Amino acid sequence: MTFRMPRRQFLMGTSALAAAGAFGLRPAFAQDEALRLIWWGGQARADRTLAVADAYAASTGTTPPEGEFLSWNDYWPKLATQVAGGTAPDVLQMDYRFIVEYATRNAIAPMDDYLGGVLNLDDFDEDQLEGGKVDGKLYGLSLGANSVAMLVNTTAFEEAGVAVPDRDWTYDTMREIGEAFKAANIRGGMTGMSDGSGSEPMLDNWIRQRGKPLYTAEGKLGPNVDDMVEWFTMWNEFRDAGYINSAEDQALDTGAAEVSMVALNKAAMIPSNSNQLVIHQSINPDTLTITSYPRIAAGVGGGHYRKPSQFWSISGASQNKEAAAAFLSYFVNDVEAGKVLGVERGIPCSAAVRDAVAPTLSEQDQIALNFVANLGDLLGPLPASPPNAAGEIDTSLLRVLSQEVGFGGRSAEDAGKFFVDEATAILNRAS
Amino acid sequence: MAVNAAEAAVPDAASGNSIWSRAWQNHAPGYLFLLPWFIGFFGLTVGPIITSFYLSFTDFDLLTPAEWVGVDNYVRMFTNDRSFAASMRVTFFFVIFSVPLKLAFALGVAVLLNRGMKGLPLYRALFYLPSLLGASVAIAILWRQIFARDGLVNDVLSIFGIVGPSWISNPNYSLWTLIILSIWQFGSPMIIFLAGLRQIPQDMYEAASLDGAGKWRQFVKITLPLLTPVVFFNAIIQTIEAFKSFTPAFIISGGTGAPINSTLFYTLYLYNEAFSFFRMGYASALAWFLLLLIACFTAFSFLTSKYWVHYDD
């Protein structure tokens, strides 16, 4: 985490804060006060973001925006606390999962008033613009398009003598790959793929190919008991055959890139996202690439979608909304800014920026860009944003159930029924 | 100092000044010096405690104002919350096994160290070190490494031809890994035991050995009974610590209580409710229930203590 501020300003700021705090007041920030930004992500993202902030300040002659960044897990508690305390930064990074929640509670402000004014989005992808809207108003500015993608360790595939799957591969291909990795027995029993039964994006992709959403536009659960039983049964079969990691190995993956099955050398593929190729490559000595999630049967399309990887939103309590909007306009439209940012947050949503950036990208970034730009028949419609309790269903239901089934504590039939019952109860409670 | 002030105040009562104003004059500097602590105590401790009690009767998601729901949160806890029940089981299991084992281990090491061996201060410091590092993030990460499938523990086991499991990712062992971590941090009760052992008069042992009592008999008949006040103190402190245990489980399971909720400590569940699912009201209710639980345990310990704790009077 960094916090950049000139020292004098820091002293003035803190003493003003202390004084205001003593009287129970919120500090009133002057108009020329630097913008404050907050986002989740690693050091690479921070360096790029702050470089653009400095460039913006240099080109406009204003005070450079101040930035603060945290990991995903630490970010949401901090942001929610700041919003509750009325001290949220002017510009904050927002996720598809939370945008409805924040927008409906006025924690973030609509940007429509600045459109055509300081905020120029003429060149912006229409579908990415739609993704940032709540009730028809623009609450989030997509910072890049993204898609789920299978992360592949190509070096391991070469060692095992198996061809890296192309975009036509299916769950049946997975059986062949699993069998081949078993036979090759490389790196102490590396499997073809990790256990995806507890991966919400993978379930989402699988159920979408069957023509159902994971969550309907009304915030109801899409899959029924039969779907879920089939889901768990399929992964049981893979696990029993040794095509995927054992439950004991899989449980080592607690979410961070450093402990993924690919990072731990236990699987040659894991379900991931297109923009995460960069971070995974940075911690893996082997050559990595990405491909699509498997199809449920040959020729079945859909499943994937171009998701706004993250948004910039303007805090509802910001005193500098117009200045914030002007900064965001620069952030997504300026070609030089685009070159600095690359595709670290996803594929740029402005066509002009995309064209300017493409030739400057590293090999890994080009792979990600090409993948998202050419999804072809795998590209389906953007689903409705997930309901409030989706996070809880993911972490405390799907993941726990997949482990219970994996360790043999629950049958696939049992787990399928339990998932639907419990997820429905959670959704009802949250609405 | 308090005694002196009281003595000074009594004669002055006759000379017209009230006891209270004299006492105030005497104590004023003291209170003045304590003022920063008072501000911190009331502002940062008492204030939030009262607020959380209020919030425990509300539905509060941090983004919108709290909404009064009466005792709904408490009712839900006991009637409709599987995770609450799971976290209670995990926490009780942890308390029941980690506290006695840790105390036994601490006492054992303290008795060994009490024999006046060479380099005693060094050993004391070494054994105390894990406690100093405490429940830190670094230690939890280190523990994760040591107990991984290809970690140190399994390397040692493999010397004896045993193929160990992946301790932290197998639900049958993961909680035991955390119990072992807790036992390893036996330093602070050990130091207190050591101090207690030093208080036992040597001539009692001499008399006992003249009467033909062996080492074990001396330990059971002299050391343990005379040490009971220290055991009592350590037991209460460690029980409270165990109930509040959070960091190791948070780090080792990535904050999820995985695998299969086998390390879902009560405080971890509380944290997730508050900061992952933004249910501050419910989390406050959980926190108050934990307080009540610890209070009951402590009261129970005090009530039973008169049957087994022997004070030297």
What own/partner pairs with CB < 8 Å and gap ≥ 24 does A423-431 have? A423/A221, A423/A393, A423/A397, A424/A220, A424/A221, A426/A389, A426/A392, A426/A393, A426/A397, A427/A219, A427/A220, A427/A221, A427/A387, A427/A389, A427/A393, A429/A389, A430/A387, A430/A388, A430/A389, A430/A392, A431/A219, A431/A387, A431/A388, A431/A389
Q: Note whether residue B269 is domain-resident.
A: yes
pLDDT-derived band at B258 (thresholds 50, 70, 90) equals: confident
By three-state DSSP, how is residue A234 classified?
Answer: helix
What residues have CB less than 8 Å from A54, skipping those under 6 apart?
A: A64
Q: Please tell me the predicted confidence (pLDDT) of residue B253.
A: 79
Q: Note whether residue B210 is domain-resident.
A: yes
pLDDT exceeds 50 at position B244 = yes
Q: Please tell me the predicted confidence (pLDDT) of residue B128.
A: 81
Q: What is the pTM of this model?
A: 0.80
Q: Please tell me the predicted confidence (pLDDT) of residue B25.
A: 83
Residues B190-206, mean pLDDT to the nearest whole number? 88
pLDDT exceeds 70 at position A11 = no
Residue numbers of the domain that contains B288: 72-307
Q: Does B38 touch chain A (CB under 8 A)?
A: no
Q: Please tell me the predicted confidence (pLDDT) of residue A2.
A: 43
Chain A residues touching chain B at CB-CB below 8 Å: 73, 76-77, 80-81, 83-84, 101-102, 105, 107, 247-252, 254-256, 259, 389, 391-392, 395-396, 399-400, 403-404, 407, 409
Average pLDDT along chain A: 87
Q: Note whether residue B235 is domain-resident.
A: yes
Q: Note whether residue B174 is domain-resident.
A: yes
State the ipTM, two decimals. Answer: 0.76
Rounded Cα–Cα distance for residues A332 and A143 (Å): 7
pLDDT exceeds 90 at position B269 = yes
Q: Note whether residue B56 is domain-resident.
A: no
Minimum-distance CB partner of B260 among A101, A391, A403: A403
Q: Note whether residue B123 is domain-resident.
A: yes
Distances (CA, A) of B218 to A271, B202, B213, B221: 64, 11, 6, 5
Pairwise CB contact (< 8 Å): B256 & A251 = no
pLDDT exceeds 70 at position A10 = no
CB A124 within 8 A of CB A350: yes
What residues have CB less than 8 Å from B139, skipping those under 6 apart?
A: B130, B133, B181, B248
Q: Does B258 touch chain A (CB under 8 A)?
A: yes
Minimum-distance CB partner of A77 among B165, B256, B275: B275
Residue in A with minimal Cα distance to B149: A249
Q: Please tell me the predicted confidence (pLDDT) of residue A44.
A: 81
CB A263 within 8 A of CB A280: yes
- Determine how β-strand A141-142 pairs with β-strand A311-315: antiparallel
Pairwise CB contact (< 8 Å): A403 & B256 = no
The predicted-structure confidence for A118-129, as pLDDT tens digits, reads as follows 999 988 888 888
pLDDT exceeds 70 at position A29 = no
Q: Note whether residue B139 is domain-resident.
A: yes
Minimum-distance CB partner of B258 among A76, A102, A254: A254
Q: Please tell me the predicted confidence (pLDDT) of residue A108.
A: 94
- Among the residue ranges A170-174, A188-192, A288-292, B251-255, the one predicted with the least confidence is B251-255
Q: Please tell me the predicted confidence (pLDDT) of residue B312.
A: 65
Taking contacts as CB-CB distances below 8 angstroms, the residues of chain B near A395 are 256, 272, 276
pLDDT exceeds 80 at position B11 = no
Q: Note whether residue B3 is domain-resident.
A: no
Taking contacts as CB-CB distances below 8 angstroms, the residues of chain A near B253 are 254
The predicted-structure confidence for B126-168, as pLDDT tens digits, reads as follows 888 877 776 677 777 787 788 877 788 888 888 888 887 778 8
Minimum-distance CB partner of B62 among A73, A81, A403: A81
Q: How many domains does chain B have?
A: 1
Q: Which domains does chain A have, with CATH numbers?
A: 16-146+307-369 (3.40.190.10), 148-305+378-430 (3.40.190.10)
Pairwise CB contact (< 8 Å): B259 & A84 = no
pLDDT-derived band at B174 (thresholds 50, 70, 90) equals: confident
Assign residue B284 the CATH number of its domain. 1.10.3720.10
The predicted-structure confidence for A329-351, as pLDDT tens digits, reads as follows 999 999 999 999 888 888 899 98
Q: Please tell me the predicted confidence (pLDDT) of residue B129.
A: 80
Pairwise CB contact (< 8 Å): B259 & A403 = yes
Q: Please tell me the predicted confidence (pLDDT) of residue B16.
A: 53
Give A330-379 as a 3 state SS string. HHHHCHHHHHHHCCCCCECCEHHHHHHHHHHCCHHHHHHHHHHHCCHHHE
Rounded Cα–Cα distance for residues B66 and B57 (Å): 9
